[in-house]
Structure 1
Amino acid sequence: MTSPDTASVPTAPAAPHSQVPLLLGAVFLAYLAQMTLNPIIAPLSREVGLAEWQIGVTISVAAVMIVLTSQFWGRRSQSWGRKPVLVLAFALAVVTMALFALTAFWGMNGMIGGTVLFLLFVLLRGIGFGTALAAVPPTAQAYIADVTPDEQARVKGMAGVGAVQGIAMIAGSVVGGVLSAFGLLTPLIVVPFLLLAGLSVVAFRLRREMSIELIEKPARVRPFDTRVWPFLVAGFGMFTALGFIQVITGFIVQDRLHLAAAQTGLVTGGALLAAGVGMVTAQAVIVPRSGWTPPTLLRVGGLTASAGFALLVFDLGAVALFAAILIIGLGLGTAMPGYTAGPTLLVRRDEQGGLAGLIGATTGLTFVVAPTLGTTLYGVWPTLPIIIGAAIMMLVTVFVWAHPRFRQVGALPTVP
């Protein structure tokens, strides 16, 4: 029997590295579709007559679905194979977001409204798209854990997933912001086509694994496993802090800069672009070149993000607002590979899919409460959710400096 902190199984069969770019491309297209919606979600809610808290609930429901389905998808990616999982996920995403665009059109033209409109938003953007999106990162992360033999390669691989998410944030901010100048409905029409492109990539380009590469019964990883829970706590805190401000960014931009709905979409796109630039800079430049271990990445990233949150608390004008969001992106972009790569170095190969799903579920769990609470608190006092996000980020930073799991390891041992 293995102890909680050690494990040993035969090494994985050799897997062709050519699959990694295709999986990263799938992650990019999935998140590009999601990020294209972000600049317009706040003004869209007001155009169709939904309250801020209703948009918060919609995002929270999507997070619930990620929590409920991430470990299922991660384990299935090891038993069914990456291709079937991603084809199913992208097909579901295409259908739900096409119907979401139609629903928004009806809402903007007064054909439906009130409770019916709210429930359709929750069903399509929340339940449907949330379930589909939950499959993508665990599938990519489990595969990267399979084909990377050591700590440095693992960190770089996980940083690659974060980097394409950051690039998607940049591209989605630009695409969503620019398209919103032609009307809020335009980005909604484009999103299903982006997802259709992702479906085409995985359906026609991604190969099926051989049977020897699959694992019949992938192991489940428990959230309180001593090998992984400190990393999960750190990740939970980071993404909770982010969740408090992510959904309200559009409201912050509109209210602090006194903008109309059409202008808000464009400027919010610029703000999210700043966050994406910070994230990509961290994961494409700082993380690969630094050679830092996962605990060091968490410490440096936590300090940086805390500084960004502290600056965002104050209404100092557009420049300070954009600078704060850029610094937050830089800090979280540095910390994220430490959160995702660290525990993968401590578990067996047959646990990688379950772990990837657990990481996805932990991230999703932060968005169950934070968006709804953040938008609700914003209605009480616009600065309050930012203050709470800053406090949480600072607590995370103290935790990763103080907890023995992070203090005692210089370089985490790789488990085959």
Structure 2
Amino acid sequence: MTSNPPTVAPRAETASPQIPLLLSAVFLAFLGQMTLNPIIAPLSREVGLAEWQIGVTISVAAVMVVTTSQFWGRRSQSWGRKPVLVAAFVLATTAMVLFALLAHLGMNGVINGVLLFALFVLLRGVGFGTAIAAVPATAQAYIADVTTDEQARVKGMAGVGAVQGVAMIGGAVVGGVLSALGLIAPLIAVPILLALGLVLVAFRLRRETGTELIGRPAKVRPTDPRVWPFLLAGFGMFTALGFIQVITGFIVQDRLGLDPETTGVVTGGALLAAGLGMVLAQAVIVPRSGWSPATLLRARGSVALIGFALLIFDAGAVLLFAAILLIGLGLGIAMPGYTAGPTLLVGRDEQGGLAGLTGATTGLTFVIAPTAGTALYGAWQPLPIVVGTVIMATVTVFVIVHPRFRQVRAAVSDSAAR
């Protein structure tokens, strides 16, 4: 291994790790987010917003993830996981209660135009984007802190992805089913789910003692040679995903000729297919495979590439669903390699900063991709899918040829013993 080994050993737990509880918090946060996804396209049209305005709203949320993830990741080590997650869930719940009220007023014509758009950006973009950034960064930093070898680390990080995949399935079901009752129903469900997450972390999560905290967590530079190849690969994967994720509802509605309520239901089914692929990958394939992070990235991105390529063609619902399933499966296998790989190469005092950096890298992809994707979709419907396919192909080649993905295989326990 050519990288510097970690200089700070994982901390000794005085009680059993609460990884399942942290994963439950991630699940509830993303279930709230995913419940909104099936209705965002028809909702935008119901309140009179253009596709590009929804793209801007999502991009602003991504900007907040980029700018706050490192802050949250380091604070989770210095303040403790519980204060960070309580603050995040309070902010998320408040923002989405107000967002539901705003959407209701917009659908009834009470608020419209520039004011409606500005409030969409403020609540869904700034408020919720800032809050959601804290949750995966905190969970990933915690998992890196309490796991001591490569296999456990990969399994733990895959758990984060698996619960996000389950949340995608649950959100597709909840959002899709509730949308049949009207677009306001899923909007009411979102803050309720977030409030459940708040109750969970407030009453069940232990607060760390002073000896378990790190007074001054280290920053990790994105140009650090230990981590930048992983960050670049992750950036490419999530950029490709971002080009299609926000337009899925528009693809479903336009290709299949559906009304707004039916679009919500069918879009929920499409997101369900992607979630099934991710859950199969991260809950079954990755934990049982024993593959290293490099192998996960190097050998499995091609599956997602096939899905992207198939999605270009307008050949009916079956091909559309199959393509989205393959995208979820391929990215679900590759993502634990992106999140776990660099954690094996840095010290304990760097884990919070690294978790924030991976979150920021993911968020950065959604700064440009949703706005660009919706704009390209308006110009020519297959264009954002073509662009996403090209990006995914480039990532696939990069992880095959770059030496980092042929060399890195680290064990934290061995490095910490040096």
Q: Which amino acid aligns with 2:76?
A: S
Look up the SS of the partner of 1:368 in the other structure.
Answer: helix
CA contact (8 A) 2:58 2:125 kept: yes
> For residues 155-213 of structure 1, what are the alpha-carbon distances to aligned partners after superposition, in whole Å with 9 as ceiling and x for unaligned?
00000000000000000000000000000011001111100000000001111011111
CA offsets, 1:251-304, max 9 Å, x none?
000001110111000000000000000000000111011110111101232110
Report the equivalent of 1:363. Answer: 362
- Contact 2:298 2:405 (8 Å CA) reproduced: no
For 1:235, the equivalent position in structure 2 comes to: 234
Who is 1:67 aligned against?
Answer: 66
- d(CA) in 2 for partners of 1:17, 1:96: 34
C-alpha contact (below 8 Å) 1:312/1:325 kept by paired residues = yes
Structure 2 unaligned runs (5+)?
Answer: none
Q: Secondary structure at the match of 2:89?
A: helix
Partner of 1:215: 214
Separation in structure 1 between the aligned mates of residue 140 and residue 191 of structure 2, nearest angstrom: 24
Q: Distance in 1 between matches of 2:286 and 2:189?
A: 33
Aligned to 1:155: 154
Q: Give 1:10 shift.
A: 4.0
Deviation at 1:407, TM superposition (A): 1.9
2:91 corresponds to which letter in structure 1? Answer: L
Give distance in 2, aligned partners of 1:28 and 1:296: 26
Q: Is the CA contact (8 Å cut-off) linking 2:10 and 2:147 kept in structure 1?
A: no
Give the aligned partner of residue 197 of structure 1: 196
Contact 2:66–2:359 (Cα < 8 Å) also in 1: yes
Give the corresponding residue for 1:335.
334
- 1: CA distance, partners of 2:289 / 2:45: 44
Tell me which residue corresponds to 2:410.
412
Unaligned stretches of 5+ in structure 1?
A: none
Shift in Å at residue 8 of structure 1? 1.8
Deviations 1:92-131 (A, max 9, x none): 0010000000000000000010000000000000000000
Task: For 1:180-329, list aligned pairs within 5 A.
Answer: 180-329=179-328
Instruction: Give the whole-Å Cα distance in 2 for the aligned partners of 1:345 and 1:10.
Output: 11
Aligned to 2:377: 378
Shift of 1:317: 0.7
Question: Residues of 2 paired with 1:134 and 1:333: CA distance?
Answer: 20
Report the TM-score when normalising by structure 1: 0.98
Matched-pair contact (CA < 8 Å) for 2:10–2:148: no
Separation in 2, partners of 1:315, 1:171: 27
2:395 maps to 1:387: no
Q: Once the 2 structures are TM-superposed, how far is the Cα of residue 357 of structure 1 from its aligned partner?
A: 0.2
Q: Whole-Å Cα distance in 1 between the matches of residues 47 and 14 of structure 2?
A: 49
* Aligned residue-pair number: 413
User: Which amino acid in the other structure matches residue 178 of structure 1?
Assistant: V
Q: 1:135 aligns to what SS in structure 2?
A: helix
Matches within 5 A, 1:49-68: 49-68=48-67
Distance in 2 of aligned mates of 1:118 and 1:10 = 48
* Poorly superposed stretches of 4+, deviation over 6 Å: none
2:97 partner letter: A
Q: CA deviation at 1:316?
A: 1.2
